[in-house]
C-alpha cells in the first residue's frame, strides 16, 4: 500500500502530527503511524505512573493543538482535577490527555482520513518508484509513502565508559535505560545508588526511588555538579526581549543577559522573556557561536531554562539538605567491580585527582543530552544511504526552516520532514510541547499545501 503520509514514531510528536493530519487531510487520504512503543502517545516522557513525575511546563501551555490553547486545562477540568492554567499537572495525566485527544479525533469516523497504526520498528528506508520512500519494518512488512515525517525523539546516550570488565552479576546493576522503571523493584531500601548526570531525569529517578521505599544514599556525578532550578510559586511576568538588539557572540550575549537578570527582581523573568525568541536567537548565531554555546553555556542554560515544578523542587532540595543526595563534579573515567559493589572512578573537576564512588547501582541519566544519530539504527542507515545528513553540531539531522530534511543526494520526489529533537540543529529549542506542537502543525500545513493527496 502507498500511503499519502507515513509518520514514524509513537511519542508526543508523532501523535501531534497525526492529530493535525486528521484535522486537515481530506477523507480520501491514507496515513500510517509506525511506532515501536506499546502506548501510542506516551513516548518516554508521559509513560510514568508516579504523581511526583510532573510536567515542567504549566498546564496552560500544554495543549496539544496550538489553535485550541485551553484544550489541556479543559480536559483536566473534565476529569475533575483541581488544577488551573498555571499549575503543573502529572505527566501520567498528560499521557492520557494525548491519547484521549487522538481518540476524540479518530471517533469522527465519517469526516476523516484513514489512519493505520502499525506497531513495529522502522528498521530501514529506501527510495522507491521515484515518488515514494519505503520503510522496512521489524515485522517483515514494507510500506511506502509520498510524504514521511520522522518523529523519533532523542535516544538514550550510551555510558561514557565501557563496563566490559564488570562481572555479569554486577553488570545487571548498571541501569542504562532508567525509563524502564521496573529496575526500581530490585533496589533494597538501604542500597547505595550512584546516578550519572544531574538533569531532570536525575530528579525523576531520585523521586521514583523514594516513592519505592528507597532510603539509602544517592550520589550524583556530573561534569559540573549543577542541578535544575525550580519554577517560582508566583511566576514573574516575562521581560519583553527584542531579539534584534541582542549581541551575536555568546560571551557578550551572556554578559548582557546576566546584566538584565540583575536589573529585575527574579532572573526567571529574563529566561521566560527569552522563550518566544529563542529559536530566532539561535538562528542568528554563526555555527562557531552555536558550538561555543554548547561547549561553555549549555549546563547553565539547562538548569535555568528547564525548571521543575515548585513542590517537586522543594521535595528534592530537602533530600539534598539532609544529605541523602550528594553531588560530585567530575568526569567518569572508569567503572569497575570492587567487593560486591560497583566502583565509579572519576576525575574531580578542575583537579588532577581521581576520586571513587562505591555503589550497589549505577543509573545512566545522561540520556537527555542529545544522542545525535548514534542511538538509532534507522537514522544510521538513512545516513549511510544519504537520505539524511547529520547536522554539523551533532544535534540531529539537517532540516530547512520548514522542517524539511535537506539531503541533496536524494532523487525521489517524496517529501521527508522531521519533527522534535531531531531538528535541534536548526531550531535549538524544539524538545518541549509548546514548540513541537507548533512545528507539527506547520509541517502538516506544508504537506497539505503541496496537495500530495490523490483526490484532495
Ligand X SMILES: Cc1cc2nc3c(=O)[nH]c(=O)nc-3n(C[C@H](O)[C@H](O)[C@H](O)COP(=O)(O)OP(=O)(O)OC[C@H]3O[C@@H](n4cnc5c(N)ncnc54)[C@H](O)[C@@H]3O)c2cc1C
Under the rule (CB under 6 A), what is the footprint of ligand X?
A: 8-14, 34-37, 43-45, 55-57, 121-122, 151-153, 200-201, 204, 368, 376, 378, 420-421, 431-433
Q: To the nearest whole angstrom, how small is the minimum distance from the Cβ of residue 259 to ligand X?
A: 29
| DSSP conformation class of 49 | -
Q: Return the number of the residue (44 or 366) whose C-beta is nearest ligand X.
A: 44
Q: Return the number of the residue (187 or 433) whose C-beta is nearest ligand X.
A: 433
Q: Return the number of the residue (151 or 166) whose C-beta is nearest ligand X.
A: 151
The CB density around residue 33, as the number of other CB atoms within 10 Å, is 25
Query: Is 333 in contact with 162 (CB distance < 8 Å)?
Result: no
- Could you give the CA distance from residue 90 to residue 185 in angstroms, rounded to a whole number? 22
DSSP track, 222-291: ESS-----BPPSSPPPPPP--GGGS-SSHHHHHHHHHHHHHHSS-THHHHHHHGGGHHHHHHHS-HHHHH
Q: To the nearest whole angstrom, how small is the minimum distance from the Cβ of residue 431 to ligand X?
A: 5
Q: Return the number of the residue (277 or 355) whose C-beta is nearest ligand X.
A: 277
DSSP track, 422-453: GGHHHHS--SSHHHHHHHHHHHHHHHHHT--S
Q: C-alpha grid cell for residue 61?
A: 501551555
Q: Return the number of the residue (5 or 151) whose C-beta is nearest ligand X.
A: 151
Q: Is 102 exposed, middle or buried (0-12, 13-18, 19+ CB in 10 A)?
A: buried
Q: To the nearest whole angstrom, how small is the minimum distance from the Cβ of residue 204 to ligand X?
A: 6
Q: Return the number of the residue (278 or 346) whose C-beta is nearest ligand X.
A: 278
Burial pattern 384-409, b for ≥16 Cβ within 10 A else e, equals eeebbbbbebebbbbbeeebbbebee
Query: Is 336 in contact with 166 (CB distance < 8 Å)?
Result: yes
Q: C-alpha grid cell for residue 129?
A: 518508484
Query: Is 16 in contact with 105 (CB distance < 8 Å)?
Result: no
φ/ψ of residue 204, rounded to 5 = -55, -45
Q: To the nearest whole angstrom, how small is the minimum distance from the Cβ of residue 90 to ligand X?
A: 10
Q: To the nearest whole angstrom, how small is the minimum distance from the Cβ of residue 255 to ligand X?
A: 29
Query: Is 135 in contact with 143 (CB distance < 8 Å)?
Result: yes
Q: C-alpha grid cell for residue 25?
A: 487531510
- Could you give the CA distance from residue 274 to residue 259 in angstroms, rounded to a whole number? 14
- Could you give the CA distance from residue 240 to residue 273 in angstroms, rounded to a whole number? 5
For 311, the enclosing helix (H) or strand (E) is helix 310-321
- Could you give the CA distance from residue 329 to residue 325 in angstroms, rounded to a whole number? 13
Q: Return the number of the residue (39 or 225) whose C-beta is nearest ligand X.
A: 39
Q: Return the number of the residue (128 or 284) whose C-beta is nearest ligand X.
A: 128
Q: Return the number of the residue (40 or 346) whose C-beta is nearest ligand X.
A: 40
Q: To the nearest whole angstrom, how small is the minimum distance from the Cβ of residue 106 to ligand X?
A: 18
Q: To the nearest whole angstrom, how small is the minimum distance from the Cβ of residue 122 to ligand X?
A: 4
Q: Return the number of the residue (205 or 360) whose C-beta is nearest ligand X.
A: 205
Q: Number of helices (H) and strands (E) in the chain: give both, helices first.
A: 14, 14
Q: Return the number of the residue (20 or 431) whose C-beta is nearest ligand X.
A: 431
Q: To the nearest whole angstrom, how small is the minimum distance from the Cβ of residue 339 to ligand X?
A: 34
Q: To the nearest whole angstrom, how small is the minimum distance from the Cβ of residue 405 to ligand X?
A: 15
Greatest alpha-carbon span in the chain: 69
- Could you give the CA distance from residue 371 to residue 103 in angstroms, rounded to a whole number? 32
Q: To the nearest whole angstrom, how small is the minimum distance from the Cβ of residue 131 to ligand X?
A: 22
Q: Return the number of the residue (62 or 250) whose C-beta is nearest ligand X.
A: 62
Q: To the nearest whole angstrom, how small is the minimum distance from the Cβ of residue 65 to ligand X?
A: 14
Amino acid at each position: 500500500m502507498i500511503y499519502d503520509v507515513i509518520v514514524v514514531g509513537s511519542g508526543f510528536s508523532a501523535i501531534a502530527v497525526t492529530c493535525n493530519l486528521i484535522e486537515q487531510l481530506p477523507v480520501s487520504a491514507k496515513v500510517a503511524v509506525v511506532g515501536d512503543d506499546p502506548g501510542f502517545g506516551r513516548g518516554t516522557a508521559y509513560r510514568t505512573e508516579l504523581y511526583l513525575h510532573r510536567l515542567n511546563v504549566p498546564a496552560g501551555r500544554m495543549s496539544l493543538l496550538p489553535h485550541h490553547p485551553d484544550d489541556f486545562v479543559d480536559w483536566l477540568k473534565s476529569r475533575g482535577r483541581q488544577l488551573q492554567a498555571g499549575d503543573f499537572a502529572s505527566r501520567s495525566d498528560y499521557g492520557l490527555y494525548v491519547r484521549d485527544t487522538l481518540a476524540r479525533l479518530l471517533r469522527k469516523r465519517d469526516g476523516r482520513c484513514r489512519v493505520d497504526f502499525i506497531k513495529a520498528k522502522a528498521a530501514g528506508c529506501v527510495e522507491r518508484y521515484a515518488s515514494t520512500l519505503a520503510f522496512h519494518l521489524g515485522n517483515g512488512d514494507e510500506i511506502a509513502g509520498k510524504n514521511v515525517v520522522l518523529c523519533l525523539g532523542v535516544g538514550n546516550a550510551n555510558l561514557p565508559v565501557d563496563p566490559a570488565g564488570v562481572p555479569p552479576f554486577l553488570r545487571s546493576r548498571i541501569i542504562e535505560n532508567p525509563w524502564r522503571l521496573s529496575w526500581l523493584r530490585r533496589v533494597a531500601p538501604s542500597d547505595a545508588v550512584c546516578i550519572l548526570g544531574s538533569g531532570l531525569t536525575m530528579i525523576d529517578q531520585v523521586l521514583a526511588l523514594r516513592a519505592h521505599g528507597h532510603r539509602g544514599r544517592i550520589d550524583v556525578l556530573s561534569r559540573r555538579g549543577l542541578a535544575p532550578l525550580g519554577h517560582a510559586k508566583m511566576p514573574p511576568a516575562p521581560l519583553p526581549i527584542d531579539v534584534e538588539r541582542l549581541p551575536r557572540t555568546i560571551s557578550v550575549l551572556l554578559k548582557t543577559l546576566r546584566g538584565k537578570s540583575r536589573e529585575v527582581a527574579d532572573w526567571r523573568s529574563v529566561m521566560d522573556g527569552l522563550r518566544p525568541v529563542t529559536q530566532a536567537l539561535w538562528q542568528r548565531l554563526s555555527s562557531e557561536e552555536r558550538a561555543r554555546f554548547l561547549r561553555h553555556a549549555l549546563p547553565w542554560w539547562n538548569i535555568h531554562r528547564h525548571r521543575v515544578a515548585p513542590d517537586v523542587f522543594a521535595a528534592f532540595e530537602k533530600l539534598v539538605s539532609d544529605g541523602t543526595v550528594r553531588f560530585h563534579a567530575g568526569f567518569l573515567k572508569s567503572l569497575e567491580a570492587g567487593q560486591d559493589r560497583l566502583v565509579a572512578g572519576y576525575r574531580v573537576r578542575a583537579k588532577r585527582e581521581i576520586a571513587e564512588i562505591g555503589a550497589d547501582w549505577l543509573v545512566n541519566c545522561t540520556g537527555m543530552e542529545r544522542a545525535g544519530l548514534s542511538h538509532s539504527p534507522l537514522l544510521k542507515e538513512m545516513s549511510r544511504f544519504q537520505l539524511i545528513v547529520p547536522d554539523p553540531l551533532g544535534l540531529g539531522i539537517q532540516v530547512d526552516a520548514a522542517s524539511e530534511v535537506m539531503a541533496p543526494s536524494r532523487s525521489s520526489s517524496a517529501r521527508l520532514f522531521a519533527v522534535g529533537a531531531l531538528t535541534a540543529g536548526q531550531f535549538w529549542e524544539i524538545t518541549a510541547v509548546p514548540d513541537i506542537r507548533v512545528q507539527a502543525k506547520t509541517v502538516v500545513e506544508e504537506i497539505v499545501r503541496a496537495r500530495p493527496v490523490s483526490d484532495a
